[in-house]
Structure 1
């Protein structure tokens, strides 16, 4: 049974989410305060966190930053909720390490689709994981340890960033559309914003530094990685 932590200050919404997700077979925890939610995540790391952007105690962005810095929670996927549909909120959410975002109001069906897609993505084992690893230029991926080196320096990636890099690296030179990446990295089928891919690619390149230039943009289509 998967354990989900909801950090959301709207009590009516939280109760609705808890009720519906428990019906779907999830074990639920919840908090109405950002700082208390962070402590709950550290005390008993869940399989997924649904995190509101605007919270008392500590803002959702700051909670996400702290989650990513803590070894106990650094790989826990985060689905961020926001009452705003502005581009800046989406970008900021991804920059602090959120795996996906959902704009209020949303349907329970859409929330469930996102949650299940994230959990499938985290449960899936890359096909190359049994092999020693992959190297492209100055980027090395140690698949058994889920470790990435860029020019010899270890790079801390979120679970989504890691899977995105691995998916590209397993197909060097092949042009991959944004839709294909959404399907195979995010596990979305006809659901999801292709700008999600663009934002993650930008963040991934930034973390990799100069070797990140190996990830090429193919105008109006998608991305590829090659030396």
Structure 2
């Protein structure tokens, strides 16, 4: 996982990097909340780790900004010296997924990060097997080792590059399919225009290109990304798009 760490103390950051490195995680350090928000507009992180006692940054306000701007798709944990119930409850109400008291124990930190990652991935059933057919046999998936991505009424067969809505197959172009996967894999989180340009068009178009919007419009229409299907696609002006669960 690519984890953004907000902490002004270089010694603490080195300790966090060492601990998380044991879990095969990578850390990107930020000293100030403004730098973190700016980075999130141009790239995506798998989790956020924020030190509550960072001078010059109101971390609780930062949590609220992250949730308003980027949604709840990215797991967010707050580290704090405080142990008062009111402080912990306040952070959780602001949008944090977990609070961990310092000093942090290495193995507990790695386990908690893993637990947050599992929680964030819970809406997506990485189905390794289909239900047994009437004959009672086991059905293999198309693409074998590439299981489908399933969320609610939506199913994406990655190996066959096919999509279904309410069990109806929908025809998508390769770029439309890639865009749809990007949105569903970041459900509830902002997907920046730069990320779309880099991952779908491999940098062949500018992040402000209108072709991104036209493709998204077609994806919304073809997949019926509307509340009656449990999702809603929202444009975040100047930033990108966010697919929210309803």
Interval of TM-score (by shorter of Structure 1 and Structure 2): 0.5 to 0.7
> Using the alignment, how far apart are the partners of 1:10 and 1:42 within structure 2?
24
> Using the alignment, how far apart are the partners of 1:144 and 1:63 within structure 2?
28
Quote the offset at 1:142 in angstroms.
6.0
Contact 2:4 2:47 in 1 (8 A): yes
The gaps in structure 2 that reach 5 residues or longer are 126-149, 155-226, 234-243
Quote the offset at 1:19 in angstroms.
2.3
Quote the offset at 1:102 in angstroms.
0.2
Are 1:145 and 2:235 an aligned pair?
A: no
Contact 2:73 2:120 in 1 (8 A): no
Deviations 1:65-84 (A, max 9, x none): 1101113x542111011101
Question: What is the TM-score of this pair, normalised by structure 2?
Answer: 0.50
- 1:18-29 equivalences in 2 (<5 Å): 18-29=17-28
- 1:78 corresponds to which residue? 76
- Cα 1:112–1:23, aligned 2, differ >3 Å: closer, same or farther? closer
Contact 2:4 2:27 in 1 (8 A): yes
- 1:23-62 equivalences in 2 (<5 Å): 23-62=22-61
Deviations 1:16-68 (A, max 9, x none): 11122223211221112222223223332201000111223321111111101
> Using the alignment, how far apart are the partners of 2:75 and 2:229 within structure 1?
19
When you count helix as a share of all residues, which structure comes out higher? 1
List structure 1 segments (4+ residues) > 6 angstroms apart after TM superposition. none
